[in-house]
Structure 1
Amino acid sequence: MQVIEGSSSMKKTKGKSSTTEREFVFEFKAGKQSCHLSVPLNFPVEENISDLHGRLMLLHNLPCFIEKDLKQSLEIFIEDQTNQDRDIDSELALQKIKMGQVDMDHLTKAWSKAYTETTLEHAKPEEPNWDEDFADVYHELIHSPASETLLNLEHNYFVSISELISERDMELKKLQERQSHEMDEVMQGLGKTRSDHDVNTVAAKHFDSQQELENKWASELKQLTSIQKQEYQEWVMKLHQDLQNPNNSSVNEEIKVQPSQLRGSHEGNERLYEEQRQLEESFTIHLGAQLKTMHNLRLIRADVLDFCKHKRNHRSGIKLHRLQTALSLYSTSLCGLVLLVDNRINSYSGIKRDFATVCQECTDFHFLPLEEQLKIIQQVVLYARIQRNSKVKNHPDVLKNGSSEDKYKNIERNPSNIFPGEFYITRHSNLSEVHIVFHLCVDDNVRSGNITARDPAIMGLRNILKVCCTHDITTITIPLLLVHDMSEEMTIPWCLKRAELVFKCVKGFMMEMASWDGGISRTVQFLVPRSISEEMFYQLSNMLPQIFRVSSTLTLTSKR
Structure 2
Amino acid sequence: MAEDDIHSVASYVNDNYEKLIEKEIPIPYTKSVQELAYILITKYELPKYIEKELVKDLTDFIEEKERQFYDTYLEDEISRAKKDPEFLEDLTKQWEKLFKEETAEFADKKCTSDEELFASAYHKLVHSPALETILSVEHLYAKAVRRRTDQKDAFIQDLSEKQTEEMNKAVDDLEHGVTESEINELVAKHYEDHSLLKVRYASELDTLKEAQRREYRDWVMKMLEYNQENSFPQSPNSPLLTPTSPLFSGPDEMIFPERVKKNEVKEPILEESFTIHLGSQLKQMYNVRILTGTVEDLCIVPVSESSDLTPQLLQTALALYSNDLSGLVLITDNKIGSRVTKDFQENCLKSTEFHFSHIDAQLEKISSIANIHMSKNASANGSRSPDSELLQCGDFYLTKHSNLAQVHVIFHLVSDDSLRGSDINSRHPVILGLRNVLKASCSNDITSLTIPLLLQYDITEEMTTMWCERRAELVFKCMKGFMIEMASWGGSDLKNLQFMLPTGISSQVFHSLADMLPRIFKISNPKILK
> Is the 2:394–2:414 contact (alpha carbons within 8 Å) kept by the matching residues of 1?
yes
1:443 aligns with 2:434: no
- Cα distance in 2 for partners of 1:270, 1:180 equals 23
- Cα distance in 1 for partners of 2:501, 2:208 equals 36
Summarize the alignment of residues 53-72 of structure 1 with structure 2, pairs less than 5 Å apart. Answer: none
1:550 aligns with 2:527: no
- Cα shift readout 1:103-128 (whole Å, capped 9, x = no counterpart): xxx99x989x8899599667642122
Summarize the alignment of residues 86-105 of structure 1 with structure 2, pairs less than 5 Å apart. Answer: none
- Cα distance in 1 for partners of 2:272, 2:285 equals 17
- Cα distance in 2 for partners of 1:178, 1:447 equals 41
- The aligned residue for residue 281 of structure 2 is 290
- The aligned residue for residue 171 of structure 1 is 155
> Is the 2:167–2:186 contact (alpha carbons within 8 Å) kept by the matching residues of 1?
yes
> Is the 2:129–2:233 contact (alpha carbons within 8 Å) kept by the matching residues of 1?
no
- Cα distance in 2 for partners of 1:294, 1:255 equals 47
One-letter identity of the residue aligned with 2:372: Y
Q: CA deviation at 1:165?
A: 0.5
Q: CA deviation at 1:215?
A: 0.2
- The aligned residue for residue 136 of structure 1 is 120
1:205 aligns with 2:189: yes
Q: CA deviation at 1:556?
A: 3.8
Q: Please give the secondary structure, in 2, of the residue aligned with 1:363.
A: coil
- Cα distance in 2 for partners of 1:512, 1:531 equals 34
> Is the 1:503–1:547 contact (alpha carbons within 8 Å) kept by the matching residues of 2?
yes
Q: CA deviation at 1:367?
A: 0.3
- Cα distance in 2 for partners of 1:454, 1:466 equals 17
Change (3 A) 1:198 1:134: same
- Cα distance in 1 for partners of 2:280, 2:304 equals 44
- The aligned residue for residue 52 of structure 2 is none
Query: Which of the residues 463, 475, 478 maps onto 1:490?
Result: 463
Q: CA deviation at 1:230?
A: 0.4
Change (3 A) 1:432 1:147: same
Q: CA deviation at 1:485?
A: 0.9
Q: CA deviation at 1:144?
A: 0.4
Identity %: 38
Q: Please give the secondary structure, in 2, of the residue aligned with 1:426.
A: strand
- Cα distance in 1 for partners of 2:106, 2:451 equals 49
Q: CA deviation at 1:191?
A: 4.7
- Cα distance in 1 for partners of 2:240, 2:393 equals 51
- Cα distance in 2 for partners of 1:316, 1:173 equals 24
Max Rg structure:
1
Unaligned runs of 5+ in 1: 1-46, 48-70, 94-101, 259-263, 395-407
> Is the 1:311–1:321 contact (alpha carbons within 8 Å) kept by the matching residues of 2?
no
- The aligned residue for residue 337 of structure 2 is 346
1:503 aligns with 2:492: no
- The aligned residue for residue 328 of structure 2 is 337
- The aligned residue for residue 143 of structure 2 is 159
> Is the 1:242–1:251 contact (alpha carbons within 8 Å) kept by the matching residues of 2?
no
Summarize the alignment of residues 316-331 of structure 1 with structure 2, pairs less than 5 Å apart. Answer: 317-319=308-310, 321-331=312-322
- The aligned residue for residue 300 of structure 1 is 291
> Is the 2:324–2:446 contact (alpha carbons within 8 Å) kept by the matching residues of 1?
yes
Q: CA-atom RMSD, angstroms?
A: 3.9
Query: Which of the residues 211, 214, 224 maps onto 1:240?
Result: 224
- Cα distance in 1 for partners of 2:366, 2:520 equals 37
Q: Please give the secondary structure, in 2, of the residue aligned with 1:486.
A: coil
- The aligned residue for residue 270 of structure 2 is 279
Q: TM-score, normalised by structure 2?
A: 0.75
Change (3 A) 1:511 1:377: same
- The aligned residue for residue 179 of structure 2 is 195
Q: Please give the secondary structure, in 2, of the residue aligned with 1:283.
A: strand
Summarize the alignment of residues 423-438 of structure 1 with structure 2, pairs less than 5 Å apart. Answer: 423-438=396-411
- Cα distance in 2 for partners of 1:249, 1:517 equals 40
Q: CA deviation at 1:227?
A: 0.4
> Is the 2:450–2:497 contact (alpha carbons within 8 Å) kept by the matching residues of 1?
yes
- The aligned residue for residue 488 of structure 2 is 515
- The aligned residue for residue 366 of structure 2 is 377
- Cα shift readout 1:289-328 (whole Å, capped 9, x = no counterpart): 1111111111010111111100369998245631011100
- Cα distance in 2 for partners of 1:170, 1:292 equals 56
- The aligned residue for residue 62 of structure 1 is none
Q: TM-score, normalised by structure 1?
A: 0.72
1:126 aligns with 2:115: no
Q: Please give the secondary structure, in 2, of the residue aligned with 1:322.
A: helix
Summarize the alignment of residues 6-17 of structure 1 with structure 2, pairs less than 5 Å apart. Answer: none
> Is the 2:143–2:304 contact (alpha carbons within 8 Å) kept by the matching residues of 1?
no
> Is the 2:141–2:352 contact (alpha carbons within 8 Å) kept by the matching residues of 1?
yes
- Cα distance in 2 for partners of 1:469, 1:487 equals 33
- The aligned residue for residue 7 of structure 2 is none
Q: Please give the secondary structure, in 2, of the residue aligned with 1:190.
A: helix
> Is the 2:443–2:492 contact (alpha carbons within 8 Å) kept by the matching residues of 1?
no
Unaligned runs of 5+ in 2: 1-27, 29-63, 243-247
Change (3 A) 1:519 1:167: closer
- The aligned residue for residue 203 of structure 2 is 219
Q: Please give the secondary structure, in 1, of the residue aligned with 2:230.
A: coil
Q: CA deviation at 1:205?
A: 1.2
> Is the 1:312–1:321 contact (alpha carbons within 8 Å) kept by the matching residues of 2?
no
1:479 aligns with 2:452: yes
Q: CA deviation at 1:520?
A: 2.4
- Cα shift readout 1:214-255 (whole Å, capped 9, x = no counterpart): 000100000000000000100000100111112789666339
> Is the 1:155–1:320 contact (alpha carbons within 8 Å) kept by the matching residues of 2?
no
- The aligned residue for residue 37 of structure 1 is none
> Is the 1:475–1:522 contact (alpha carbons within 8 Å) kept by the matching residues of 2?
yes
- Cα distance in 1 for partners of 2:475, 2:233 equals 57
Q: CA deviation at 1:548?
A: 1.0
- Cα distance in 2 for partners of 1:337, 1:128 equals 31
Query: Which of the residues 383, 394, 418 maps onto 1:421?
Result: 394
Q: Please give the secondary structure, in 2, of the residue aligned with 1:189.
A: helix
Change (3 A) 1:227 1:554: same
Q: CA deviation at 1:346?
A: 1.9
Change (3 A) 1:316 1:439: closer
Change (3 A) 1:294 1:269: farther
> Is the 2:278–2:285 contact (alpha carbons within 8 Å) kept by the matching residues of 1?
yes
- Cα shift readout 1:75-110 (whole Å, capped 9, x = no counterpart): 9xx99x98xx89x959x98xxxxxxxx9xxx99x98
- Cα distance in 2 for partners of 1:511, 1:142 equals 35
Q: Please give the secondary structure, in 2, of the residue aligned with 1:285.
A: strand
- Cα distance in 1 for partners of 2:460, 2:487 equals 37
Change (3 A) 1:441 1:524: same
